[in-house]
Structure 1
């Protein structure tokens, strides 16, 4: 990590020294230090931007939130670690505020920190930089190699690819994969969604991208049916605007005939974006999709304006609990209550549940105490290219102990393919 440049904002001299030593222990030696916000701003002005800022929140004078706002406005650091003795609810609120301003929050920690914890978060930054982590990227406006606007009439499908993230039950049984869009750009290399989706939307190309993802999903499922005798359940995100199209369902049914797998193998994840009354055509499309046998999932459950109302009104078969409710679950009673309540409600409504963002053994074990959802996250597997997924599936089927943390699942149950 010698190439990392880090700023520490900390007004306690002992804590400052300890953090500096922890960074050195993680092979980070380019470190700026400041005991107040004004000094931090001055240091950044003199020595330039940093990769990561470690911010305390509570201090005399201007607080850590002021520095985070300054970093967001100037782009002098795109990632922060929030480290404070404040209550967990305050830490979570500060992290949410930072994200709303476009800052990547690598993590929040209550004092004291540790060498291992700091090292894990810095490694996370390196994964994001290298494109191997499925994390939000900095705004394209701050990127020195800003992407040009897309041509609304051009076909980009040959450059659009999918990465696949497995979903697994708490007993270790494979439940399917979700497709995540990537762009193999001829000039900029592999691009994550945060980098290119706004441009795709501005060019009116979201439908083209989505149909391309659906085709790749069903092709993979069908190829698994041919090669292994079992179709692979696949999930694809569907922009709500596509549900406005009267021909959406007929066109999807034609695609299902082209790749003859059962409609139940396809889950369409729909993000609820506003509390407005759903248009008749959207409502009808959702009903027809369920009547055809496709599965419907409420994506990012709990973050929209009227998710519970939509669950009561619409024919969903699954809800997805987003990562922000799961990270730190083991140490947060409020998150435990929210996730546990959602699982209980889903059970009573006969809905399946997928929990995203499961990254640690602690959060995995906390979920085990709450119910039996399907889990998705780095604890199981990172998003991967198709060739890597096929290897992963083969290993899962024949040597599950090599790819799953079986000691944390059920030692008496070997995962099975689908």
Structure 2
């Protein structure tokens, strides 16, 4: 693990000294300090890029926003901590801007920073940095060629490399409600790849439908296996590209797959990712209605991120919404995020919709959520996505993870 290199941009000499001492106490000794944006840029030019930049916002002349734009355009900082005395909503909006510019924001903190908070952020960065070093690089554009030229005979070999990882969903009391199937690519040369590293290329190569059907089959097969082993149904969720709903054969094929695995449709939740279309096509509406009539559950993923969520909830037959991690992470310290989540829970309850809250990573966010209602939870605080064998072991720790009340399967 390499030692961290950190830049501090702070125009108060006292606070600059205090931050420097906090970094030293956390084992960081390679520290660049600057009291102006101009000085910070010169220091970076002279001494090279840093792991983390700690950036104040308000200062005479060029301000923190100028520094953030400079870091985004030059790539001279791998991560950013924003530290300022501006109002909380301004601080959060600056963090959002920095993320849109492509920067990794570790935190947006109001002054003064505590040594414990700064140490925790740096330790978290160290751990994730080590994990990132172990990850293979993203697939490159030239690898589209073999993907797009796959023959029907070669596709099964590729499907064998696409493996399902399962992330549990639980109630506030720990009761198991189901699992979401998430794809990982066990690449023969590059190792285990996350979706972000290959899904865009898979989509471009026209292979999203084979991938989706493979995930549906794999998840339902696991649900059937669990039923046979435990006598109870395991609910599974699978992401569905909206374009697949345009096909009139989608629902009949899904019914056939459910029959093949001898599963009732109610065990399957189809998660539809929000898109930027203001209205759904007639084909999509008809497909979603037919899926609900069959008995499948439908979930609107990434609720609140798209442009047309409210309208889509009114015009489409969803049974569930998923609140994404960006509204949840840090909710315990941010009243505005708590208000957004609380508003979504109230609306969902009045519309008879279930709610899944994603991205629960800390005890404080879990506890804050507990004061707002009783949604389903998903996130690292509950469990990370895991391969089938690991999930079976997780499920075997029976009393720790109580099954949702369900009818025993017929003999």
Q: TM-score, normalised by structure 1?
A: 0.87
Counterparts of 1:105 and 1:148, CA distance in 2: 31
Q: In the alignment, what sits opposite 1:259? A: 261
- In 2 relative to 1, CA 280–22 (structure 1 residues): closer, same or farther, beyond 3 Å? same
The verdict on how the C-alpha distance between 1:347 and 1:176 changes in structure 2, with shifts beyond 3 A counting, is same
Alignment match, 1:279: 281
Shift of 1:290: 0.8
Moved more, 114-123 or 287-296: 114-123
Contact kept in structure 2, 1:2 and 1:28, CA below 8 Å: no
Partner of 1:404: none
Alignment check: 8 A CA contact 1:2 1:27 kept = no
Deviation at 1:127, TM superposition (A): 4.2
Give per-residue Cα distances to partners, 1:343-385, cap 9 Å, x unaligned: 1111111110111112222222222221111111222122223
Matched-pair contact (CA < 8 Å) for 1:295–1:316: yes
Match of 2:204 in 1: 202
Residue 129 (structure 2) aligns with: 129
Tell me the alpha carbon deviations over residues 330-349 of structure 1, each in whole angstroms, 9 at most, x when there is no partner: 23232222211211111111
Higher mean C-alpha deviation, range 118-127 or range 296-305? 118-127
| Distance in 2 separating the partners of 1:375 and 1:127 | 24
Alignment partner of 2:143 out of 146, 149, 162: 149
3-state SS in 2 of match to 1:43: helix
Is the 1:149–1:203 Cα contact (8 Å) retained in structure 2? no
Counterpart position of 1:185: 187
Describe the shift of the 1:159–1:65 C-alpha distance in structure 2 as closer, same or farther (beyond 3 A): farther
Higher-Rg structure is 2
SS at match of 1:283: helix
Query: Partners of 1:187 and 1:41 in 2: how far apart?
Result: 40
Alpha-carbon distance in 2 for matches of 1:340, 1:278:
27
Structure 2 distance, partners of 1:119, 1:162, is: 35
Give the whole-Å Cα distance in 2 for the aligned partners of 1:128 and 1:237: 26
How is 1:15-164 mapped onto 2 (pairs within 5 angstroms)?
Answer: 15-131=15-131, 146=140, 148-150=142-144, 151-154=147-150, 155=155, 156-164=158-166
In structure 2, distance between residues paired with 1:308 and 1:95: 26
Considering only aligned residues, what root-mean-square deviation do their CA atoms show, in Å?
A: 2.4
TM superposition shift of 1:147: 5.9
Q: Deviation of residue 399 (structure 1)?
A: 4.0
Deviations 1:96-140 (A, max 9, x none): 11121222222222122223322332333344434489xxx99x8
Q: Are the equivalent residues in 2 in contact too, given 1:163–1:383 (CA < 8 A)?
A: yes
Q: Distance in 2 between matches of 1:417 and 1:347?
A: 20
- Which portions of structure 1, spanning 4 or more consecutive aligned residues, are displaced by more than 4 angstroms? 130-133
